[in-house]
């Protein structure tokens, strides 16, 4: 699977692939990472890529020309590329999107900087547009990385142990039950005794109860979804 990060600041992104799971996935040729800098496509003699907003308003907006040319170039090389824009003005990215997008052969993430991207670019090129949450980042690079990471771990072979995909939070409406490692007692704090007794059906029902408690506390609307799903099944 290929990712192309369309960004004015590839340095902000590169470091993330230099360690851990995604580094290994690149070494195993499961992932390939490319960068496309709109500045390299600017026809301005000073390679300018932004300007003040038409109609007024604070801040600079990324011009259409460098992005049109960069994205035309990308599409001419791979007509199957799936182009994703990240912006706070979009639907929230969720786990189902991560699973669905893991089936694509090539995804391009377009990151805006400054006050955003000229809307005509999004209108013309976006296959999908996502926000990663109700807050404003200084640019889209972190959001693009968040999507890339969440998508990649759903690709066969990227995670060492494919089982760890099965019972995660958001695979069901419930949040995941708490996990514990060794030792069983640490500084007077013990793991729940049921976890130690080896009765798997009891452990499963305790985990379900803990999942429900966590979900009720942190994400009550998700618990409601769980109850509806249970009633329907």
CB 74 → ligand ADE: shortest distance, Å?
A: 20
State the angle between helix axes of 200-218 and 220-232 in degrees (0 to 180), rounded to the nearest 10: 130
Cis-peptide, bond into residue 206, ω within 30° of zero:
no
Local structure of residue 164 (DSSP, 8 states): G
CA distance 165 to 50: 41
**Choice from 7, 42, 63, 87 touching ligand ADE (CB under 6 A):** 87
Nearest to 124 by CA among 110, 137, 113, 138: 110
Local structure of residue 36 (DSSP, 8 states): E
Which secondary structure element, helix H or strand E, spans residue 109, and what is its range? strand 106-111
- Asked if 38 touches ligand ADE (CB under 6 A), the answer is no
**Choice from 22, 110, 118, 140 touching ligand ADE (CB under 6 A):** 140
Of residues 88 through 127, those in contact with ligand ADE by CB under 6 A are 88
- Asked if 131 touches ligand ADE (CB under 6 A), the answer is yes
**Choice from 8, 98, 143, 177 touching ligand ADE (CB under 6 A):** 143
The contact mask relative to ligand ADE for 196-225 (x = CB under 6 A, - = no) is ------------------------------
Torsion of CA 71, 114, 133, 34, to 10 degrees: 30
CB 182 → ligand ADE: shortest distance, Å?
A: 38
**Choice from 51, 94, 133, 217 touching ligand ADE (CB under 6 A):** 133
Which secondary structure element, helix H or strand E, spans residue 227, and what is its range? helix 220-232
- Asked if 161 touches ligand ADE (CB under 6 A), the answer is no
Which stretches of the chain bind ligand ADE, using CB under 6 A?
A: 86-88, 131-133, 135-137, 140, 143
């Amino acid at each position: 699977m290929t990712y192309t990060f369309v960004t004015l600041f590839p340095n902000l992104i590169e470091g993330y692939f230099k360690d851990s799971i995604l580094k290994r996935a690149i070494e195993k040729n499961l992932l390939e990472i490319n960068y496309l800098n709109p500045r390299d496509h600017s026809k301005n003699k000073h390679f300018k890529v932004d300007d003040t907003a038409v109609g007024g308003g604070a801040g600079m907006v990324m011009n259409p020309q460098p992005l049109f040319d960069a994205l035309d170039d990308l599409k001419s090389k791979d007509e199957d590329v799936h182009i994703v824009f990240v912006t706070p003005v979009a639907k929230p990215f969720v786990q189902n999107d991560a699973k669905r997008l893991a089936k694509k052969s090539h995804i391009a993430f377009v990151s805006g900087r400054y006050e955003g991207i000229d809307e005509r670019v999004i209108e013309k090129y976006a296959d999908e547009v996502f926000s990663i949450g109700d807050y404003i980042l200084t640019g889209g690079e972190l959001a693009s990385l968040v999507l890339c990471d969440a998508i990649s771990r759903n690709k066969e072979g990227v995670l060492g142990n494919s089982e760890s995909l099965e019972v995660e939070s958001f695979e069901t409406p419930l949040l995941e039950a708490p996990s514990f490692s060794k030792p069983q007692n640490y500084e007077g704090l013990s793991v729940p005794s049921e976890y130690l007794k080896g009765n798997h059906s009891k452990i499963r029902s305790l985990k379900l109860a803990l999942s429900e408690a966590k979900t009720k506390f942190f994400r009550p609307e998700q618990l409601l979804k769980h109850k509806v799903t249970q009633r329907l099944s």
